[in-house]
Structure 1
């Protein structure tokens, strides 16, 4: 039996001020989007902002619905917003920030599996990595250089 090891590399930033200026601004957009999230059931608000190669920014936030699971997460809202408004533009990076009304989130909150799958589709479509930065409400920020670092052994069109 042959064993393989999957390794990912993360960069961890202690504060927002350690991020490159453009990513600080992108995270600020994600935080602003987070505050407009519609999350009356979970009371867990998430905002996402996407920086495109052209400099355009697309944002999203989670949108809940009493008929679970009819809502959408912030990451998918942002990536679909980007695809709808800027269908041929390359995505350089995504910033994600989460806040809970139940507790202070001071550690990075990574995207859920469904969002990782949707983000991976766009990364595969453009044939280049999308850097993803994520955080809670405060505290450290984690960066992965590619969505595939969040979804190793992912499912894609090659299997269809």
Structure 2
């Protein structure tokens, strides 16, 4: 007999007025680093700012390469740097901003599959969700309270 498995996902929209001061700083960092992205092929700029439990705030951007697909996404770049330099400090939240070069509007960008699985890896390592915050064209934050909301059927265990 067939069984249907359903999972409910939920994202929250935070208008600018509801942002914490910390959120404002992280959004500013993501926007700032986004403008410095190396994206000569797509002209699509992505920035990510990461808050660690120890208070460190880090940022990175996408790095394209003419040899597709060896470029690196902003989310994986900042998480890799964090885990290389602060391996015992839990990531708490990541803010993502994106837009076309010379564009005047932000694009709502969710992490790609590789980035989602990378976020999942660090949630597993620290046994805690990482809040994923994505800037929208309206200037709001679209927020997932953990990667399960963006990757409900994630790959978690080599033995299951």
TM-score in terms of structure 1 length: 0.91
For structure 1, the residue ranges without an aligned partner over 5 or more in a row are none
SS at 1:58's partner residue?
A: strand
What's 1:79 paired with? 79
What's 1:151 paired with? 151
Structure 2 Cα separation of the partners of residues 4 and 157 of structure 1: 19
What's 2:131 paired with? 131
TM-score in terms of structure 2 length: 0.91
SS at 2:116's partner residue?
A: helix
For structure 2, the residue ranges without an aligned partner over 5 or more in a row are none
SS at 1:111's partner residue?
A: coil
RMSD: 1.8
What's 1:115 paired with? 115
What's 2:22 paired with? 22
CA contact (8 A) 1:45 1:61 kept: yes
Structure 2 Cα separation of the partners of residues 26 and 156 of structure 1: 28
Q: CA deviation at 1:28?
A: 0.9
CA contact (8 A) 1:107 1:139 kept: no
Pairing 1:101–2:101 present: yes
CA contact (8 A) 1:31 1:97 kept: yes
Pairing 1:61–2:61 present: yes
